[in-house]
Amino acid sequence: MKKGVALLFISLVISSFLIGSVSAETGFSSVGEKVKTFMDGGLAAIGPIITPIIGETTDSPYFFAKILFFIIILSIVWLALSRVEIFYEYVVVLWTVSIAVSILAVKYMSDAQWLMTMLLPYEALGVTISAGLPFAVYFFIVNIGMQGPKYKTVRSVAWIFFGVIFIGLWFTRYDLGDATYVYPVTALACLLMIIFDGTLQRFFYKMKLDRYSARDDGRQIVIEKMVRNDNLLANGAITPAEHAATKKRLAKQMVALNR
């Protein structure tokens, strides 16, 4: 499954770059304009279907910006709710609530210009930040928040959707000049997340084991200090007040280690 998903996304990215290579001769703006016109036409055709879901979309770049915003909100809501026991036990409820909240957030967004300014800037630095920040947030949510073998397919599909959004932005924002290539680079980074998913998960798993090992060592040290504190009191080396103060401090350390 993972190899098939990766091959599909590789084909999509390579096809995009081939089109970009051809456009170097014919003019990327010409190709981009045709792609944008095609996407705007398709968007107009499916408008009656998607408008009740995500609200009004004026053109294809705004549509992709809304989808990008929807994915980010969905990921954040899912990660937050998955930490709640009732949602963790009922996966269907978790996804239903997460999707519903995300749709409402996108559909009833009061200021469209705010979204355009945040996710669709025109300066090179702004384009880089608008692609890099969502990627960083998404990386944290998908690769760290969804760790483990049971989420392997979910992670791959999530990165494919994310990459497709940036490929769409690449073609529909053809008028940005060199800054537009931030989008395919980000799409390639999404591809790398799929290819190196196993390596990343092993790395995070090792970090978790190291953290648990350090926590166990810390607990053992605190226990030894507690025993030593009791022995000092029994031998009359410290006063009851000193013993109580040390015991209280060590108890706080143990609570912190058990979190």
Mean pLDDT of 205-228: 84
Residue 189: the pLDDT is: 92
Residue 171: the pLDDT is: 78
For residue 258, what is the DSSP state?
A: T
How far apart are alpha carbons 59 and 64 in whole angstroms? 9
Residue 44: the pLDDT is: 65
H-state helical runs in the chain: 2-26, 28-45, 47-54, 60-81, 85-89, 91-107, 112-119, 124-139, 152-172, 182-195, 197-234, 240-257
Instruction: Quote the pTM value.
Output: 0.62
Identify the three-state secondary structure at position 84.
Answer: coil
How far apart are alpha carbons 187 and 97 in whole angstroms? 28
Tell me the per-residue pLDDT of 9-55, one tens digit each, with 9 for 90 and over: 555 555 455 444 444 444 445 555 666 666 666 666 666 666 666 66
Average per-residue pLDDT in the chain?
76
Tell me the per-residue pLDDT of 141-194, one tens digit each, with 9 for 90 and over: 888 778 888 888 888 888 998 888 888 888 777 666 666 778 888 889 999 999
Token look-up 């990459």 returns: 163
Identify the three-state secondary structure at position 46.
Answer: coil
* Maximum Cα–Cα distance across the chain: 91
Distances (CA, A) of 16 to 5, 164, 181, 187: 17, 10, 11, 10
